[in-house]
Amino acid sequence: MKKRILLLLFLLGLQPLHIAGAQQVSLADDTAALLRNSVAEHDAVIWYLGHAAFAIKTQSHLLIFDYYVQREPPAVPSLGNGFINAQELQDQDVVVFVSHRDSDHYDPLIWQWQDDIPNISYVLGWEPAIANEDYVRVMPRQTTTVGDIEVTAIPSTDSGAGFLIRVDGLVFYHCGDNAFWISPYRERYYREIEWLAGKTDYTDFVFLNWRLGADRATMEEGLWKTAEMLGARYVIPSHMRGREETIVELIKDAPSARQRNQIVDKRVPGERFIYRGGEFLR
């Protein structure tokens, strides 16, 4: 039976999707089709764009978080290889989120996308010194609507904000640079997460910072406790600085099998995941 399944996947030209604690399965790598095809309410397609950057296609929108150019672009940039190509997205309703102004979360080139994408808007967790640009600034502990998207911000332990997003039947959290980086941050970090947890009974998925080389004990505690407080179904590790392979350490040391299976194990920019029916396809 296993050989038959592998043969079928080969014939379909599919590529592996990695979910911790589950066998690898495959999804066709067809970015154009994924962008063109409709997404049901409550579902999403997620592309990992490196570090803390992600693109998320929902039923009505394409949301981009904390994008910056991290390496030399290929001849044809695409979500499928971890880059934003504005021409590829010209038919999408695009909303660009920037948590703060650090160069590993913000690239001024995002403003150039307006030349190719007619329906684009910007949501910032900080006040940029940029004249003549149109954007929405979400203040800490403020909820703002951008069209039909509800955005709630909390202050970061670094700078800027983390965003809780409600859109097209989904609820998720992108932390930006907000994390329990070191033990002195304990009180103010959990105070804001507790406040945010009062705004939702659950989240479909949360993008939370974790990496080796930081204060690992506090980082892991912060990740797991935040996921619990926000009622997260899945955790997508962020802020890996190109060391995505170290996610295996987070998985290996997870407090329980249930938590181990919550981790979405991303490895390379351009990798994408399908969230359907409350689960990532396995």
Show the domain range for 61.
2-277
Give the number of domains in the chain: 1
Retrieve residue 65's tokens.
Answer: 């978080």
pLDDT for the residue 78: 94
What residues contact 2, with CB distance under 8 A and at least 6 apart?
none
pLDDT for the residue 240: 86
pLDDT for the residue 213: 67
The string of pLDDT tens digits covering residues 203-259 is 999 999 987 667 889 999 999 999 999 999 999 999 988 889 989 999 999 999 999
Residue 249 is assigned to a structural domain of this protein: yes
pLDDT for the residue 127: 79
pLDDT for the residue 241: 81
Calculate Rg over the CA atoms of the chain: 18
Give how far the C-alpha of residue 265 lies from the chain's centroid of Cα atoms, to the nearest Å: 12
pLDDT for the residue 239: 93
Q: Which residues of the chain have pLDDT under 50?
A: 1-28
Residue 9 is assigned to a structural domain of this protein: yes
Angle, CA 92 vertex, CA 144 and CA 235 arms, to 5°? 60
Residue 282 is assigned to a structural domain of this protein: no
- Here the CATH number for the domain that contains residue 264 is 3.60.15.10
The string of pLDDT tens digits covering residues 72-85 is 988 889 999 999 99
Residue 181 is assigned to a structural domain of this protein: yes
Dihedral sign, CA of 20, 22, 24, 25? Answer: negative
Residue 227 is assigned to a structural domain of this protein: yes
**Nearest Cα to Cα of residue 163 among 82, 219, 73, 238:** 238
- What pTM value is reported for the model? 0.89
| 148 neighbors 135 (Cβ within 8 angstroms) | no
**Whole-angstrom distance, CA of residue 82 vs CA of residue 50:** 7
Residue 223 is assigned to a structural domain of this protein: yes
